[in-house]
Amino acid sequence: MAEEGRQENGRWPVIVRSALPRKLADFSIKVISSLSALLGIAILAWILFEVIKRGSAALNWSFFLHLPTPPNIEGGGLANAILGTSMITLLATLAGVPIGLLAGVYLAEFGQNTRLGSVVRFTSNVMMGIPSIIVGLFVYTLLVLPLHHFSGYAGAVSLAIIMLPIVARTTEDMLRLVPNSLRESALALGAPRWKATLGVVFRAAKTGLITGVLLAIARVSGETAPLLFTSLNSPFWPKSLSQPTANLTVTIFNYAMSPYSKWQEMAWGASLLIMVAVLALTVVARFVFKEAKK
């Protein structure tokens, strides 16, 4: 069989193929991938540039201090929406973070190898992938429909639900990084489990936990869909969170869809504000984590 291809002198023929086509293919792929990366950066720059350019044109003192005005009336601002978004996000953080932290403690400290632990871990991974608008629908059926009115509380609850699995999973990951010897030392000194966890393990994982919480806040503070039918929007000051509450993201949506150029301009201002807040939170979170690694 193998003798077929041999030459008369008993050797195998040496086939010399040009490497040029292979090198060309290699070169073109390299060019394409470098260009794609460049395109990615260019689009990021384009988005940032447009938001900053159009947004900064709308920002002035009145934007931060005054209530919105009807279309085509000069002046006015989104002070109520800024305040409302801060209140809703703060409340969501106060509700979502402690519960998420405790759930993360369960996953990392008590439920590592239990069936409940693995079920909850799987569920929270799945839950992170649920579209935020579905959470909005859920809270609508839970808090808006039975009470017959939209409210800031409902908005905060839906944001808290979105935060919950994020905080829980990052907490678990961060607590897992803490070496077991620390836990054992604390327990050996006679500390009860809760003290060992909250006083020793939490302290060791502090920066990681802060990073996780900051990223979760960054994630929800730009959310619009879950607020659309929970906190709705309002042109007034948020006097109480039990009423429809003004917020920046829904305002962006409403104003952008309106035909008035003044309102569209305000929407750009609000977009710039939200984008800066979210990016700043993200950058700070990463910086904190990096410092801790050192």
Residues 222-241 that bind other proteins (CB under 8 A): 222-225, 228-229, 232
Binding flag, residue 261, other proteins (CB under 8 A): no
37-76: which residues touch other proteins (CB under 8 A)? 37, 39-41, 43-44, 46-47, 50-51, 54
CA neighbor of 78 nearest in space, from 64, 89, 88: 64
16-35: which residues touch other proteins (CB under 8 A)? 22-23, 25-26, 29-30, 32-34
Helix 152-177 × helix 115-128 angle, to 10°: 130
**CA distance readout (Å), 10 to 2, 4, 5, 292:** 11, 10, 10, 67
Binding flag, residue 120, other proteins (CB under 8 A): yes
Among 79, 102, 210, 284, binds other proteins (CB under 8 A): 102
The span of 6-14, 70-78, 80-88, 220-228 binding other proteins (CB under 8 A) equals 220-228
Query: What is the per-residue binding string for other proteins in 132-151, x denoting contact by CB under 8 A?
Result: xxxx-xx-xxx--x------
Q: Are 85 and 249 in contact (CB under 8 A)?
A: yes
Instruction: For other proteins, give the closer residue by CB, 65 or 134.
Output: 134
Contacting residues for 125 by C-beta, under 8 A, at least 6 apart: 165, 169
Binding flag, residue 284, other proteins (CB under 8 A): no
The 10 Å Cβ neighbour count of residue 231 is 34
Binding flag, residue 106, other proteins (CB under 8 A): yes
Q: Are 89 and 160 in contact (CB under 8 A)?
A: no
Among 57, 90, 116, 188, binds other proteins (CB under 8 A): 116
Among 58, 88, 97, 103, binds other proteins (CB under 8 A): 103
3-state SS track over 14-57: CCCCCCHHHHHHHHHHHHHHHHHHHHHHHHHHHHHHHHHHHHHH
The dihedral formed by the CA atoms of 237, 240, 241 and 244, expressed in degrees to the nearest 10 = -50
Binding flag, residue 209, other proteins (CB under 8 A): no
Binding flag, residue 249, other proteins (CB under 8 A): yes
Instruction: For other proteins, give the closer residue by CB, 6 or 260.
Output: 260
Among 66, 69, 86, 117, binds other proteins (CB under 8 A): 117
Binding flag, residue 197, other proteins (CB under 8 A): yes
CA distance 166 to 128: 7
